[in-house]
């Protein structure tokens, strides 16, 4: 099958435009010390420009107000947007709203589309994805948050953790056990829970990303649901269908994450190279030191390899759907996160104490990058999944299949008459 990542001229021009917006309009917003309200205000005119240029909410199909570009084209856009944390918001594809919109679009009733999806896409509502329970995030089968049906309501009890933007959102999509008597794959459901429903309390979590809890874009909360009463019409999809929906949400989302990491890598790589050609120590430019050249060469190759692996996963999703690309999607999750970490680490190293200081963006990029190995499932879970798929094609063999004495005996038998003919 042909494998083609070429980009048509019209879309390439849109990507060039997006790159310019990110560098000229969004990079300056990063350093103004904006809180999230001020950031949202300053982003508004830029969002209008993005809409006029046909790049708003590009992850969605045309009937939902998106562009229906497919994962490869989207990946190329996310690579550009990833350079700045703030850019996805300006382009209407920020986490967790973009994934939530995809999820609602997949499963919503017509009434849910009107009430939740349309205002979410218009940027009038904000959402949170409330799934993880502390200590069991990597094994959702152990979740205990319960939604019990009582008449026309579900009554929700439980505690979720690290819910992105929970306290800044208008609604949470909550994953809860609705039937504890069947396998969790069939016993969990998703509910749309308005954030102002009585019984919800939230505790902001200071962490490596939002140390001061005032990040303009992302904060994270612990959320406790106590006897939270939700109308049954807020069930998203089928009762018991949460796992299937969650997988559909996470597959393409990992492509977007991984391509955004490439964007972060490129920005860090540019800083690394600029420093290498600028500073001289011990009688020569850093760029002339072999150790620095090794960082440059290894970073360039690693970024390119991660990019191609991600685009291949995106291409496979476009061709045959998310489930056929499961191995590639899992690979880019941990491989991309390592590349991001290593490139940032080298960039900080070459700047020395300046790189460690908040006078350069690298220290914040580095702190944030650490989360890449955790969110959407820790690396280990993805590695286990890839290893299982890889090992499935192998059977035990003693002696080993490649054992040379055994192969020699078999080869002598196979070629016995020819060997005899030539006197061996
Ligand atoms: C910045 C950030 C944003 C997040 N946003 C959200 C959000 O919006 N909504 C939401 O619901 N959640 C969110 N999360 C939570 C995230 O999805 C979880 O942290 C993740 O799934 C891991 O779950 P856990 O933290 O409970 O880890 P645990 O389940 O406690 O696992 C801890 C460690 O155990 C090890 N481990 C686990 N499984 C295996 C295995 N099979 N083999 C070997 N080792 C293993 C790994 O080292 C793992 O890191 C976010 C997390 C971060 C850091």
3-class secondary structure per residue, the chain? CCCCCCCCHHHHHHHHHHHHHHHHHHHHHHCCCCCHHHHHHHHHHHHHHHHHCCCCCCCCCHHHCCCCCCHHHHHHHHHHHCCCCCHHHHCCCCCCHHHHHHHHHHHCCHHHHHHHHHHHHCCCCCEEEECCCCCCCCCHHHCCCEEEEECCEEEEEEEEEEEECHHHCCEEEEEEECCCCCCHHHHEEEEEEECCCCCEEEEECCCCCCCCCCCCCCCEEEEEEEEEEEEHHHEECCCCCHHHHHHHHHHHHHHHHHHHHHHHHHHHHHHHHHHHHHCEECCEEHHHCHHHHHHHHHHHHHHHHHHHHHHHHHHHHHHHCHHHHHHHHHHHHHHHHHHHHHHHHHHHHHHHHHHHCCCCCHHHHHHHHHHHHCCCCCHHHHHHHHHHHHHCCCCCCCCCCCCHHHHHHHHHHHCHHHHHHCCC
Task: Indicate if ligand 1 lies below 6 Å from the C-beta of 96.
Answer: yes
* Residues 173, 96 share a domain: no
Is the per-residue pLDDT at 178 higher than 80?
yes
* Residues 172, 99 share a domain: no
Is the per-residue pLDDT at 4 higher than 90?
no
Is the residue at 82 inside a domain?
A: yes
Average pLDDT taken over every residue of the chain: 94
| 376 CA: nearest ligand 1 atom | 17
* Residues 209, 143 share a domain: yes
Closest CA to 74 of 95, 53, 57: 57
Q: Are 311 and 336 in contact (CB under 8 A)?
A: no
Q: Name the token pair of 191.
A: 């509910």
Across the range 163-168, mean pLDDT stands at 95
Q: Name the token pair of 304.
A: 């390119």
CA 275 to centroid of chain Cα atoms = 29
| CA–centroid distance, residue 134 to ligand 1 (Å) | 8
From 99, 138, 382, 386, give the residue whose CB has the most ligand 1 atoms within 8 Å, as the site to mutate. 138
| 136 CA: nearest ligand 1 atom | 29
Nearest residue (CA) to ligand 1, atom 11: 131
7 falls in which pLDDT band (50, 70, 90)?
confident
Task: Indicate if ligand 1 lies below 6 Å from the C-beta of 370.
Answer: no
| Dihedral class, residue 94 (left if φ above 0, else alpha if ψ from -120 to 50, else beta) | beta
CA 339 to centroid of chain Cα atoms = 14
- pLDDT single digits (tens) 222-241: 999 999 999 999 999 999 99
Which residue among 120, 153, 171 closes a domain? 120
Whether cis (ω within 30° of 0) applies to the bond prior to 399 is: yes
* Residues 38, 20 share a domain: yes
Task: Indicate if ligand 1 lies below 6 Å from the C-beta of 251.
Answer: no
Q: What is the pLDDT of residue 62?
A: 79
Is the residue at 147 inside a domain?
A: yes
Q: How far apart are CA 353 and CA 359, in angstroms?
A: 10
Is the residue at 357 inside a domain?
A: no
Which residue among 120, 153, 187 closes a domain? 120
Task: Indicate if ligand 1 lies below 6 Å from the C-beta of 253.
Answer: no
* Residues 91, 69 share a domain: yes
Across the range 102-114, mean pLDDT stands at 92
Q: How far apart are CA 213 and CA 219, in angstroms?
A: 6
- pLDDT single digits (tens) 293-324: 999 999 999 999 999 999 999 999 989 888 88
Is the per-residue pLDDT at 374 higher than 90?
yes
Task: Indicate if ligand 1 lies below 6 Å from the C-beta of 15.
Answer: no
Q: What is the pLDDT of residue 252?
A: 80
Q: How far apart are CA 127 and CA 167, in angstroms?
A: 9
Q: Are 316 and 326 in contact (CB under 8 A)?
A: no
Nearest residue (CA) to ligand 1, atom 42: 380
Across the range 266-275, mean pLDDT stands at 98
Which residue among 180, 213, 236 closes a domain? 236
Q: Which CATH number fits the domain that encloses residue 94?
A: 1.10.540.10
Q: Give the gyration radius of the chain's Cα atoms.
A: 25
Is the per-residue pLDDT at 286 higher than 80?
yes
Q: What is the pLDDT of residue 41?
A: 96
Q: What is the pLDDT of residue 6?
A: 78
357 falls in which pLDDT band (50, 70, 90)?
very high
* Residues 128, 73 share a domain: no
Which of 53-67, 111-125, 243-257 has the largest mean confidence?
111-125
* Residues 82, 168 share a domain: no
| CA–centroid distance, residue 376 to ligand 1 (Å) | 7
Is the per-residue pLDDT at 66 higher than 90?
no
Is the residue at 316 inside a domain?
A: no
Task: Indicate if ligand 1 lies below 6 Å from the C-beta of 166.
Answer: no
| CA–centroid distance, residue 251 to ligand 1 (Å) | 16
Q: Are 100 and 106 in contact (CB under 8 A)?
A: no
| CA–centroid distance, residue 132 to ligand 1 (Å) | 8
Task: Indicate if ligand 1 lies below 6 Å from the C-beta of 380.
Answer: yes
| 96 CA: nearest ligand 1 atom | 8
* Residues 130, 174 share a domain: yes
* Residues 164, 105 share a domain: no
Across the range 151-165, mean pLDDT stands at 97
Task: Indicate if ligand 1 lies below 6 Å from the C-beta of 209.
Answer: yes
In this prediction the pTM is 0.94
Q: What is the pLDDT of residue 288?
A: 97
From 133, 140, 159, 374, give the residue whose CB has the most ligand 1 atoms within 8 Å, as the site to mutate. 374
- How many domains is the chain partitioned into structurally? 3
Q: What is the pLDDT of residue 117?
A: 93
Q: What is the pLDDT of residue 1?
A: 62
Residues ≥6 apart with Cβ < 8 Å to 176: 143, 145, 146, 147, 154, 156, 158, 188, 189, 190, 191, 242
* Residues 115, 125 share a domain: no
Task: Indicate if ligand 1 lies below 6 Å from the C-beta of 163.
Answer: yes
Q: How far apart are CA 171 and CA 130, in angstroms?
A: 10
| CA–centroid distance, residue 371 to ligand 1 (Å) | 9
Q: How far apart are CA 123 and CA 128, in angstroms?
A: 14
60 falls in which pLDDT band (50, 70, 90)?
confident
Closest CA to 116 of 44, 230, 193: 193
Is the residue at 31 inside a domain?
A: yes
Q: Which CATH number fits the domain that encloses residue 194?
A: 2.40.110.10
20 falls in which pLDDT band (50, 70, 90)?
very high
Closest CA to 165 of 125, 105, 138: 125
Count of all residues that appear for the chain in the document: 424
* Residues 103, 45 share a domain: yes
Q: Name the token pair of 220.
A: 């994270």
Which residues constitute the domain of residue 405? Answer: 395-424
| CA–centroid distance, residue 254 to ligand 1 (Å) | 15
Is the residue at 339 inside a domain?
A: no
59 falls in which pLDDT band (50, 70, 90)?
confident
Q: Are 101 and 64 in contact (CB under 8 A)?
A: yes
Is the residue at 295 inside a domain?
A: no
Q: What is the pLDDT of residue 250?
A: 77
Closest CA to 348 of 304, 299, 302, 307: 299
* Residues 144, 91 share a domain: no
Q: How far apart are CA 352 and CA 70, in angstroms?
A: 41
Is the residue at 86 inside a domain?
A: yes
Q: What is the pLDDT of residue 145?
A: 98
2 falls in which pLDDT band (50, 70, 90)?
low
Q: What is the pLDDT of residue 217?
A: 86
């Amino acid at each position: 099958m042909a494998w083609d990542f070429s980009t048509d001229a019209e879309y390439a021009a849109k990507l060039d435009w997006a790159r310019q917006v990110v560098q000229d309009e969004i990079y300056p917003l990063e350093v103004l010390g904006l809180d999230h309200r001020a950031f949202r205000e300053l982003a508004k005119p830029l969002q209008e420009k993005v809409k006029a240029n046909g790049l708003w909410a590009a992850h969605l199909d045309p009937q939902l107000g998106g562009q229906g570009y497919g994962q490869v084209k989207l990946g190329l856009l996310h690579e550009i947007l990833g350079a700045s944390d703030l850019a996805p918001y300006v382009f209407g594809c920020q986490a967790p709203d973009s994934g939530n919109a995809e999820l609602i679009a997949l499963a919503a009733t017509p009434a849910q589309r009107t009430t939740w999806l349309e205002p979410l896409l218009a940027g009038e509502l904000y959402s949170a994805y409330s799934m993880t329970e502390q200590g069991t995030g990597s094994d959702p089968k152990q979740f205990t948050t319960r939604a019990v049906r009582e008449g026309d309501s579900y009554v929700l009890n439980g505690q979720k953790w690290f819910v992105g933007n929970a306290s800044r959102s208008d609604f949470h999509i909550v994953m809860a056990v609705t039937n504890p008597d069947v396998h969790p794959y069939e016993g969990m459901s998703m509910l749309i829970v308005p954030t102002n429903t009585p019984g919800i309390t939230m505790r902001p979590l200071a962490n490596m990303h939002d140390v001061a809890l005032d990040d303009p874009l992302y904060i994270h909360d612990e959320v406790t649901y106590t006897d939270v009463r939700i109308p049954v019409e807020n069930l998203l999809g089928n009762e018991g269908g949460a796992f299937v929906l969650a997988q559909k949400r996470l597959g393409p989302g990992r492509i977007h994450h991984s391509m955004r990491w490439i964007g972060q890598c490129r920005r860090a790589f540019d800083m690394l190279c600029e420093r290498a050609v600028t500073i001289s120590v011990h009688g020569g430019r850093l760029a002339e030191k072999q150790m620095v050249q090794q960082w440059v060469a290894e970073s360039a190759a690693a970024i390119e390899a991660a990019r191609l692996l991600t685009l291949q996963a995106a291409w496979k999703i476009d061709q045959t759907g998310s489930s056929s690309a499961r191995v590639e999607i899992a690979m880019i999750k941990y491989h991309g996160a390592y590349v991001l970490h290593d490139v940032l680490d080298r960039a900080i190293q070459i700047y020395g104490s300046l790189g460690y200081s908040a006078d350069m963006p690298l220290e914040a990029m580095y702190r944030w990058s650490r989360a890449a190995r955790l969110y959407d499932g820790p690396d280990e879970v993805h590695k286990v999944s890839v290893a299982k798929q890889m090992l499935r094609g192998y059977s035990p063999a003693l002696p080993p299949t490649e054992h040379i004495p055994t192969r020699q005996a078999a080869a002598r038998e196979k070629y016995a008459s020819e060997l005899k003919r030539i006197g061996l």
